[in-house]
Amino acid sequence: MSKEQNSLMDKIVSLCKQRGFIFQSSEIYGGLKSAYDYGPLGVELKRNIMNEWWRSMVHEREDVTGIDASIVMHPKVWHASGHLAGFSDPLVDCLISKERFRADKAPQPKVGEELPISCVDKGQAKAYQEAIKKRFEIELRRNGKTLEGLRVIDEKTFGFFETDSDVSATTFPYAGYVGPTFGCPFLSEERQFNLMFRTQLGPVDVLNRISKFMENNRDADSKAIREGVDEIVKESAVYLRPETAQAMFVQFLNCQQSMSMKVPFGIAQMGKSFRNEITTEHFIFRSCEFEQMEMEFFVEPGTQHEWLDYWRDKRLEWWKSYANHPEKFIYRKHDADELAHYADACYDIEYEYPWGYDELEGVASRTDYDLKKHAEHSGAKLSYFDQQKEDPKTGKMGWRYTPYVIEPAAGATRGLLVYLLDAYHEETVKDAKGNDSTRVVMKLHPRLAPIKAAILPLVKKEGLPEIAREIVADFFKAGINVKYDENHAIGKRYRRHDEAGTPYCITVDGQTKEDGTVTIRDRDTMAQERIPAKEALRIVQERLVNS
Ligand code: GAP
């Protein structure tokens, strides 16, 4: 990221904390890595994004119905979906840089090749040289930001070679690969690392059972112990869902039958998902606990590519419709080698983040893979019978088939980051003394804005607070989130609400008592107009609907 782009992320992170959008989780205890809490404004923004999604995907469509499934599902769901197998990759830690990576994707220098450790700068090279000396008692040669002196001896060994020597001074076990970022061969053992969070269901204390098993099998070898412990854990193991999608496949029949849905139709769900991500990055972009908004749209076989294009365009337009910079949203078709094993085509909807274009939502054509897998593993008949259609195989009326699926799968928390980045705006304005000052405005779409209007008495006396509170009460009755705010000078209050993204400020002043009017200030243009106080609710409601 360039300095400027880096600073945009820094500004967003700092504004999020100051204004109450997002806090580091458990901050007073030093924080929990990559876990975040959505503060007073963040929770509103997140809910508004998710409610708008629900409105457009469920309430405004006759062909989509919603569910809210439990986060913990039967473990067989994850066997059928392939998550238990596919999510388990051997991972390795670099003992020097602490980088964690997949062993099967790492570079593999061959026998006889040098193993230079490439650091980002000379300072890091010095620090790694010292760390290696302390831990392995060898002093690698520093050449700028590269550490030299290591070479692969054979498939299982690498060695340290003094300058101009062909005989290794010391040897070490070689894993057959090196760390991808630095090229370091000092590595931990490979470990299975499951991307799903596992927990235990039921009252039996698994640790007790494991310790008894260990006592009774003191002489067993490590393989037998591993298998025995696995068996005990497996009996009550359940997983936090890594995606909301699977519940929609598992509840396909219940939803279709209870709501008499006819193909093509969709089932939508939004909520928390959990992934023990190897790399968590860019603030809330990739975290271990996040929220998704997913829909599985069941279609007739053969029609999937038309529907894929339909949902790709629909979803892209949806994201753009709340943005100040719609040109930063694009879609990208997956190359054949990028496709997940269950997909016959896929698009990513991408946003231009400060670090470049990256994923915001995936729109995948998942074929009939999921329904077929769940039918196979559960024994349930997850198919659809269309009386009006001719069976292409028999030529007779009535066709039973397994529907194909188009899946628009969006990140709600990732979408929140996108709209924060999109909304951040700085401009130079004159302050009360006529000096230049920087105004920070979060130009959030009014329907996404956490607070729809701030109701501000100009002063805390002369009956103005009472009038302001009456206006607040009108808004509350209509279910619109407004905030009464009387602290600090009016200019400071406007700036505070600009940073909170509040689209309208309604000010009660001396004139209100004379003619019953208030001012309404627009966040983006700063233009103010006088309106009757009694009309404030209707005017804001109209602006929200038309925004
Ligand atoms: N059911 C398909 C599925 O889950 P995915 O591409 O893995 O597909 C869909 O996830 C969306 O969920 C992503 O486009 C992204 O917006 C969001 N997402 C995935 N992993 C995430 C994470 N670790 N942190 C935040 N958002 C994430």
Q: From first to last of the 547 residues of the chain, give the pLDDT tens digit.
A: 666 666 999 999 999 999 999 999 999 999 998 899 999 999 999 999 999 999 999 999 999 999 999 999 999 999 999 888 644 567 788 999 888 888 877 999 999 999 999 998 898 899 999 999 999 999 999 999 999 999 999 999 999 999 999 999 999 999 999 999 899 999 998 877 778 999 999 888 899 999 999 999 999 998 899 889 989 998 899 999 999 999 999 999 999 999 999 999 999 999 999 998 877 889 999 999 999 999 999 999 999 999 999 999 999 999 999 999 999 999 999 988 788 878 999 999 999 999 999 999 999 999 999 999 999 999 999 999 999 999 999 999 999 999 999 999 999 999 999 999 999 999 999 887 889 999 999 999 999 999 999 999 999 999 999 999 999 999 999 999 999 999 999 999 999 999 999 999 999 999 999 999 999 999 999 999 999 999 999 999 999 999 9
Closest-CA residue, ligand 1 atom 21, reads: 286
What is the token pair recorded at 204? 């039996």
Nearest protein CA to atom 20 of ligand 1, as residue: 286
CA of 26 to the centre of ligand 1 (A): 24
Q: Whose C-alpha lies nearest to ligand 1, atom 22?
A: 286
pLDDT at 101: 85
For ligand 1, whether the C-beta of 361 sits within 6 Å is yes
Question: What separation in Å is there between the alpha carbon of 50 and the centre of ligand 1?
Answer: 15
Residue 87 and residue 340 in contact, taking contact as beta carbons nearer than 8 Å: no
Long-range pairs for 36-40 at CB < 8 Å and ≥24 separation?
36/283, 36/284, 36/287, 40/450
Residue whose token pair is 């600073």: 7
- The values of phi and psi at residue 284, to 5°, are -90, 5
Helix (H) or strand (E) holding 316: helix 304-321
- According to DSSP, residue 110 is labeled P
Report the nearest-CA residue for atom 4 of ligand 1.
243
103 is written with which tokens? 């062993």
CA atoms within 13 A on the CB side of 110: 0
C-beta of 269 in contact with ligand 1 (< 6 A):
no
292 within ligand 1 shell (Cβ under 6 A)? yes
What pairing do the DSSP bridges indicate for beta strands 504-508 and 453-457?
A: parallel
Of 289, 272, 295, 317, the closest CA to residue 364 belongs to 295
Query: Residue 94 gets which letter from DSSP?
Result: B
416 ligand 1 Cβ < 6 A: no
Reading phi first (left if > 0) and then psi (alpha if -120 to 50, else beta), residue 506 is in beta
d(CA 464, CA 457): 5
**277 CB within 6 A, ligand 1:** yes
Please report the pLDDT score of residue 6 as a whole number: 67
**Do residues 300 and 264 make contact, with C-beta atoms less than 8 angstroms apart?**
yes
Peptide bond into 40 cis (omega under 30): no
Pocket test for ligand 1, best of 78, 243, 284, 360 (most atoms within 8 A of CB): 243
DSSP 240: B
What confidence score (pLDDT) does residue 86 get?
46
User: Quick one: pLDDT at residue 2?
Assistant: 62
**How far, in Å, is the centroid of ligand 1 from the Cα of 237?**
24
Would you say the C-alpha torsion 427, 430, 435, 439 has a positive or negative sign?
negative
Nearest-atom number in ligand 1 for the CA of 409 is 9
Ligand 1 geometric centre to CA of 385 (Å) = 32
**pLDDT, tens digit (0-9, with 9 covering 90-100), for 318-366:** 999 999 999 999 999 998 878 887 899 999 999 999 999 999 999 999 9
Beta bridge partners of 67: none
Q: Looking only at Cα atoms, what is the longest distance across the chain?
A: 97
pLDDT the model gives residue 99: 84
Q: What digits encode the pLDDT tens for the residues 242-274?
A: 999 999 999 999 999 999 999 999 999 999 999
Distance CA 88, CA 195 (A): 7
Say how many Å lie between the CA of residue 362 and the centre of ligand 1: 8
Q: Ligand 1 centre and the CA of 225: distance in Å?
A: 36
Structure tokens at 399: 């066709």
The answer to whether the Cα torsion of 491, 492, 496, 499 is positive or negative is: positive
- What are the residues facing 441 on neighbouring strands? 425
- Which atom, in ligand 1's list, is nearest to the CA of 275? 23
411 in contact with ligand 1, CB cutoff 6 A: yes
